[in-house]
Amino acid sequence: MSEMLLTPIEIGLTAAIVAIEDHEPQILTARAGDGLAGLPFGPFDALAHRTFEIGLRAWVEQQAGLRLGYVEQLYTFGDRGRHAEAAHTGAHMVSIGYLALTRAVDGELAATGASFEPWYRFFPWEDWREQPPEIIARDIIPALMKWAEEETPETTRALPRKDRVRFYFGLDGAPWDEERVLDRYELLYEAGLIEEARRDGRPAALARKTLPALGTSMRFDHRRILATAIARLRAKLKYRPVVFELLPAEFTLTELQHTVEAISGRHLHKQNFRRLVETEALVEPTGAMSTQTGGRPAALYRFRRDVLQERPAPGLRVRSRR
């Protein structure tokens, strides 16, 4: 009996590294020869690194000069063709995605070639802080509804296309759920409306003469990994105090609110937010005042670490005005 030849597997580590600058969520990117933005990526060396996370921290510090603070594993991304053409017969690349939070700024990255970019550049339909993004009604919904009308009765999905469009994009009275970032991205990919679907040879994308300009595409499946990271962080805000990993040790309540709004993509009512912060008892006053607000001095606060021993799921279960 002849031996079966198995395709070799390589393990990579991909990091969605998030920071906040000027009230905007930023994602660390590096550009390769193709000009496309990509998430920092490096191989796992089983001889040099005892764990995946140790390996991730080591090469991020080496390549970007960053010492990561909060890190958590997201998902294993292993779809065939994710790092190569469909006919590629070499080693298959499986990537373990991570979410990491940092307070770094661009000045620390000048020598590395990496830079922070606003994550809403890649997901413009996710920013609802001012109003529902025009791109949804103008470009996304008409294209998705036309695609949904082409569905055949033989679909194997539990929900038909029209229902998924309605649920994921908050139509016909359905609420906008800010945590469904990955669902919305994958719906656009399935409908062939984004550049990554065309690059991957998806029939729905190849059948289109032109694609709408739906955000900036990324290398490989990195925009899918970033969508997974944004969804995880938005959910995490509600039951873990991760937002304080993105703030300085001392901050004003306005800075805290702007950071939560930046991550969630939703506008929050100021007084309701402050009542929530007071009820959750996540912060405590330092007794000092900030004069950097551009107006009246504002009280400075810090994260109250005792809350981690007091409650199993301390977070900010915010509600928006929409």
Q: Is residue 232 part of a domain?
A: no
Neighbours of 97 (CB within 10 A): 24
Q: Which of 42, 57, 99, 118 is nearest to 245 (CA)?
A: 99
Q: Is residue 233 part of a domain?
A: no
- What is the overall mean pLDDT for the chain? 88
Query: Are residues 100 and 78 located together in one domain of the fold?
Result: yes
Query: Are residues 149 and 166 located together in one domain of the fold?
Result: yes
Neighbours of 70 (CB within 10 A): 15
Query: Are residues 191 and 105 located together in one domain of the fold?
Result: no
* Mean pLDDT within 130-149: 97
Q: Is residue 4 part of a domain?
A: no
Query: Are residues 18 and 109 located together in one domain of the fold?
Result: yes
E strand or H helix that includes residue 96 = strand 92-101
CB 8 within 8 A of CB 91: yes
Q: Is residue 35 part of a domain?
A: yes
Neighbours of 264 (CB within 10 A): 25
> What confidence score (pLDDT) does residue 152 get?
85
Query: Are residues 254 and 180 located together in one domain of the fold?
Result: no
Q: Which of 151, 52, 148, 51 is nearest to 98 (CA)?
A: 52
The rounded Cα 314 to chain-centroid distance in angstroms is 21
- Choosing from 121, 144, 179, the residue where a domain stops is 121
Query: Are residues 159 and 131 located together in one domain of the fold?
Result: yes
> What confidence score (pLDDT) does residue 112 get?
65
Q: Which of 185, 30, 6, 212 is nearest to 112 (CA)?
A: 30
Query: Are residues 203 and 261 located together in one domain of the fold?
Result: no
Query: Are residues 153 and 114 located together in one domain of the fold?
Result: no
Q: Is residue 91 part of a domain?
A: yes
> What confidence score (pLDDT) does residue 1 get?
45
Q: What CATH number has the domain bearing residue 34? A: 3.90.79.10
Neighbours of 172 (CB within 10 A): 10
- Choosing from 105, 121, 137, the residue where a domain stops is 121
The more confident residue out of 44 and 134 is: 134
- Choosing from 214, 234, 267, the residue where a domain stops is 214
Query: Are residues 34 and 102 located together in one domain of the fold?
Result: yes
- 3-class SS at 121? helix
Q: What domain range includes position 191? A: 124-214
The more confident residue out of 85 and 266 is: 266
Split into its structural domains, the chain has a count of 3
Query: Are residues 113 and 138 located together in one domain of the fold?
Result: no
Q: What CATH number has the domain bearing residue 283? A: 1.10.10.10
Query: Are residues 29 and 116 located together in one domain of the fold?
Result: yes
* Mean pLDDT within 253-281: 95
Residues 64-90 have pLDDT tens digits of 888 888 999 999 887 755 554 555 556
Query: Are residues 117 and 34 located together in one domain of the fold?
Result: yes
At residue 4 the predicted structure's pLDDT band, cuts being 50, 70 and 90, is: low
Q: Is residue 173 part of a domain?
A: yes
Q: Is residue 105 part of a domain?
A: yes
Q: Is residue 209 part of a domain?
A: yes
